[in-house]
Amino acid sequence: MPKDFLKGARDFYDVVVIGSGLAGLTSANMLARAGYSVLLLEHHYQLGGLATWFRRRNGHIFDISLHGFPVGMIKSCRKYWNAEIADSIVQLKGIRFENPQFSLWTTFDRQDFTRILIDKFGVAPDVVQSFFETVRRMNFYDDQTMTTGELFERFFPGRDDVVRLLMEPITYANGSTLEDPAITYGIVFSNFMSKGVFTFRGGTDGLIRKMRAELEKNGVDIRIRCLVEKVEVGPDRRTTGVVVNGRRIGCRAVVSNANLKQTIFELVGEEHFDSSFVEEARAVRLNNSSCQVYVALKPGVGFDYVGDLLFHSEHRGFDIEAMLSRNISSRTFSFYYPDIRPWRNRYLVVSSTNARYDDWARLSREEYQASKQELIESTLDCLEQYIPDIRQKADHVEAATPCTFKRYTRHWQGASFGTKFEGLAVSKGLPEQIAGLFHAGSVGIIMSGWLGAVNYGVIVANEVDKYLTPAAARV
Ligand X SMILES: Cc1cc2nc3c(=O)[nH]c(=O)nc-3n(C[C@H](O)[C@H](O)[C@H](O)COP(=O)(O)OP(=O)(O)OC[C@H]3O[C@@H](n4cnc5c(N)ncnc54)[C@H](O)[C@@H]3O)c2cc1C
85 part of the interface to ligand X, by CB under 6 A: no
23 part of the interface to ligand X, by CB under 6 A: yes
Single-letter amino acid code for the residue at 304:
D
Closest to 346 (Cα-Cα) out of 379, 393, 399: 393
Residue with smaller CB distance to ligand X, 166 or 445: 445
Single-letter amino acid code for the residue at 38:
V
Distance between CA atoms of residues 125 and 109, nearest Å: 16
439 part of the interface to ligand X, by CB under 6 A: no
Which of 272, 410, 420, 439 lies at the binding interface for ligand X (CB under 6 A)?
410
- Residue facing ligand X at closest CB distance: 21
* Interacting span for ligand X (CB under 6 A) from 78-86, 132-140, 385-393, 412-420: 412-420
- What sign results for the dihedral spanned by CA atoms 334, 337, 342, 346? positive
Q: Where are the alpha helices (DSSP H) in 317-364?
A: 320-324, 357-361
Closest to 248 (Cα-Cα) out of 265, 261, 234: 234
- 342-371: which residues touch ligand X (CB under 6 A)? 352
Which of 6, 13, 20, 190 lies at the binding interface for ligand X (CB under 6 A)?
20
353 with 328: CB under 8 angstroms?
yes
Enter the DSSP assignment of 119: I
- 172-211: which residues touch ligand X (CB under 6 A)? 173
Which of 186, 202, 402, 441 lies at the binding interface for ligand X (CB under 6 A)?
441
24 part of the interface to ligand X, by CB under 6 A: yes
Q: Report how many residues bind ligand X under the rule CB under 6 A.
A: 40
Q: How far is the CB of 418 from ligand X (least distance, A)?
A: 6
Which of 15, 16, 17, 22 lies at the binding interface for ligand X (CB under 6 A)?
22
Distances (CA, A) of 50 to 14, 309, 385, 417: 26, 19, 29, 9
Phi, psi of 325 (to 5 degrees): -65, 150
233 part of the interface to ligand X, by CB under 6 A: no
Q: How far is the CB of 69 from ligand X (least distance, A)?
A: 4
18 part of the interface to ligand X, by CB under 6 A: yes
72 part of the interface to ligand X, by CB under 6 A: no
292 with 352: CB under 8 angstroms?
yes
Distance between CA atoms of residues 144 and 187, nearest Å: 12
Residue with smaller CB distance to ligand X, 99 or 290: 290
Which of 390, 446, 449, 461 lies at the binding interface for ligand X (CB under 6 A)?
449
Q: Which residues of 220-231 are buried (b: 16+ CB within 10 A; e: fewer)?
A: bbbbeebebeeb
Task: List residues binding ligand X (CB under 6 A).
Answer: 18-24, 41-44, 49-51, 64-65, 67-69, 173, 227-228, 257-258, 290, 292, 352, 405, 409-411, 416-418, 441-442, 448-450, 453
